Structure 1
């Protein structure tokens, strides 16, 4: 490795510290994996604050979509700026923006919903400054053959985050496991279908009063974690240039004499990346699983509440699912290093598509509550152990396919898919005729169908992603 061979043991330690700092950073930014939990608290509170009486869980998609659209549209440009500004300043900027958004929500949650959307969506801007930057900083310390493992260790923090945030939120807001109440304005209220068709909201006054203070607590914690990450992550912007020659020397000692010589490194600019078919194939594959992520991030808990009314149960499911979320990212990163993007993605997409298609069956099972809880838990664990892995493998795939010199901007181009899947979810939920037709069942089935599309498109990818192959396709286009 570069740090060991070029600068001694202390520099090798910098690589470990970069991974630790990136992990901690992703851990703090993982509050979006607690959005299903925050949905129930934010919407329940704002329905009672006198400003938003008609607010529903379906409206929460406007908050998450604004955050993700800001994130996806800004990431290529902020990625370019982050490369010029430097690693530590970029992480500091992103962390301050993110934590400030949560702190301000203490006040905006008492206003119109649009104000809470504005402050909570600052998360997306902060994310654009730090995510690719942290991955790049860690990967630059290690040989190219370890991209998957190193990147997955960093982004596993995103998966493990809700092990902390969901239990913390639930313990702070609802320590006594107070039940949510059926919406009395639901058209099915008072009928046999009320349990399946009507949402449940929290109405207990003491519980609701604690919700604004939760944002002060979270914002303060996030700011502290961001500042620690700034200290841990090294700001050596040119490490990757030194890494190329060093990793080539190290690998050449391990490659037999009759082996094929390594190609000279090539790098594609964002304008060149957009001219390759490989980019669009990876983009579609990424989109097809991010849609499931978007649906779960908005509706996994509100959907579960239609047939399981137990807030603490969902907290425990969140803990278990996000153990698999974090550990799964590491596993998928290791699998990537062994199988490369195409085969790893195919395995992942088959699991995600199959499980998503099974979700709508649960409310219709004539089974005891304990059985429904177990089945719901198994499906959530299977999903969260699978689809988050896409973030680990695309982080490595972008570097392999397009090089690391413009990594942050090129990685940001992929996140433009967020705009598309958010628009799709908004259409699903905010167009009354479509939502009435689809409901939760239709949305989950559409997501499973799009996962199948991703499988088909990924079959067209080359077995191994390389910069040279991508460059040849640019030159031929």
Structure 2
């Protein structure tokens, strides 16, 4: 007997998916952790900068994208529940070992950058695919709720990191590195707390991600559920009643000297050629008219219904007129383009590579914002660490959550290309306005909030495009392939930052991402029309 009713299972699955993503999204706290890890590694004798530690985040994204492709195979072989629980344990070990070997830059790259991303990548699509099984409508809204948990993760981990590592609100010290001025911590009490925080994060992750993964993979047991049993009984009784009625109707009165037979289930679906020949011999004119009507029904590019054999000419004309009215340009375009690849693999789409490139360019700004928002604030606003962290993590997280939900709703209500155009305008505005206002704290906070609002929309864009364009049948595979664009835009962001990091100040790098966003917005609007 089931304790949990079947009607509650979808909402439990949704909560489990949200809880799992809330913890697996710890990657979004790497930007806050960057300054602490960089300072700690320098304290332990590693000659590293912000740019070097940012490579851990880039390695994570690259590995994540690669193992998303492997994840589809692993999920099919071992099942969703075993896969997500095993990967949760693997991620716990990755952060636990990171706390033990926090003094080594290479080992941090291996554990925080590689092993964590392997577990994350294999299970990335499980929360979404599990929720989609129970929610058939408003998929954009459901995607927004689940993915918004990843945005809420910094609000959980960033204050934890800052309050435990820098509990006395010690200010970083200005240092000259590569002809530029940067700020690092040199207080030993602050630096020695870094490994402890990594260990605490691993424990928190183990508890909540395991619980979330278990709930997200819950399924409705069809055989034991009393409501489903009632529905099955009702359907069986209805089928029996309909069968008996059909038999009674097909019995012909033999006393009137008419030929008759009892129609059983075998005769219903059997096409007898002999009887057809008899009908043709008896009435040639009637068969000729019927063949003409069949030909008329086939005309109209498949919009006419061939299964219903209606002999009324007026009814057929009315149906034809109403259905021909549906032959608008939008309908033809949708049938020939979107419907052509629906519930198929994205690799069958000849325009997929262009779509993939446009997503790469469109989301290129994300890595820059996530990794450098706090560093820009500390270097240019000169506001204390706790204030930047608490305000930034809270406001950015809420903005990101709101962005994922609101943009998800907009995707449900408006065409994809219109939504992408509005989102692209917001991204371009943020990229060009950031260097101008970064020295004023209030404006800096507002622009960061708008940036994270756009990031929420960018992350919702990938599953929405995958679902609406390629359907649900191969969702995990198509989502994994399209998400590999995160690998490419991570490389692109890394190249841009590495090329101009020494030439320009950090805040002026956003101009480059504004130009890239302008080009990609136009390209995506064309490809998703």
Q: Say whether the fold is shared (TM-score over 0.5).
A: yes
Residue by residue over 1:251-304, the C-alpha shift from the partner in whole angstroms, topping out at 9 and shown as x without a partner, is: xxxxxx9797998995213xxx12424533442343234321100122111122
Match of 1:147 in 2: 139
**Correspondence 1:43 to 2:118:** no
**Correspondence 1:342 to 2:420:** no
Structure 1 residues 72-471: aligned runs within 5 Å = 72-111=65-104, 113-121=105-113, 122-143=115-136, 145-183=137-175, 185-186=176-177, 197-236=180-219, 266-269=342-345, 273-309=346-382, 310-315=384-389, 316-363=391-438, 372-431=440-499, 434-463=500-529
Please list every run of 5 or more consecutive structure 2 residues that lacks an aligned counterpart in the other structure. Answer: 223-318
Distance 2:218 2:102 in 1: 37
Contact 2:404 2:460 in 1 (8 A): yes
1:331 is displaced (CA, Å) by: 1.0
Contact 1:102 1:219 in 2 (8 A): yes
Distance 2:425 2:437 in 1: 20
Distance 2:55 2:397 in 1: 24
SS in 2 for 1:200: strand
TM-score, normalised relative to structure 2: 0.74
Distance 1:282 1:149 in 2: 23
C-alpha distance 264-426 of structure 1, shift in aligned 2 (>3 A): closer
Contact 2:421 2:522 in 1 (8 A): no
Distance 2:89 2:396 in 1: 29
SS in 1 for 2:526: coil
TM-score, normalised relative to structure 1: 0.81
Distance 1:11 1:346 in 2: 41
SS in 1 for 2:61: helix
C-alpha distance 266-361 of structure 1, shift in aligned 2 (>3 A): closer
C-alpha distance 72-187 of structure 1, shift in aligned 2 (>3 A): closer
Match of 1:31 in 2: 26
Contact 1:163 1:319 in 2 (8 A): yes
Match of 1:194 in 2: none
C-alpha distance 379-265 of structure 1, shift in aligned 2 (>3 A): closer
Residue by residue over 1:124-158, the C-alpha shift from the partner in whole angstroms, topping out at 9 and shown as x without a partner, is: 21221222111011011112x41101111111101
Distance 1:408 1:199 in 2: 43
Greater CA drift, 384-393 or 281-290:
281-290
SS in 1 for 2:138: helix
Contact 1:18 1:234 in 2 (8 A): yes
Match of 2:304 in 1: none
Contact 2:362 2:521 in 1 (8 A): no
1:419 is displaced (CA, Å) by: 2.2
1:160 is displaced (CA, Å) by: 1.1
1:13 is displaced (CA, Å) by: 1.4
Contact 1:102 1:120 in 2 (8 A): yes
Number of residue-to-residue matches in the alignment: 416
1:235 is displaced (CA, Å) by: 4.7
Distance 2:91 2:13 in 1: 20
Distance 2:133 2:340 in 1: 17
1:59 is displaced (CA, Å) by: 0.6
SS in 2 for 1:436: coil
1:438 is displaced (CA, Å) by: 4.0
C-alpha distance 281-344 of structure 1, shift in aligned 2 (>3 A): farther
Contact 2:359 2:524 in 1 (8 A): no
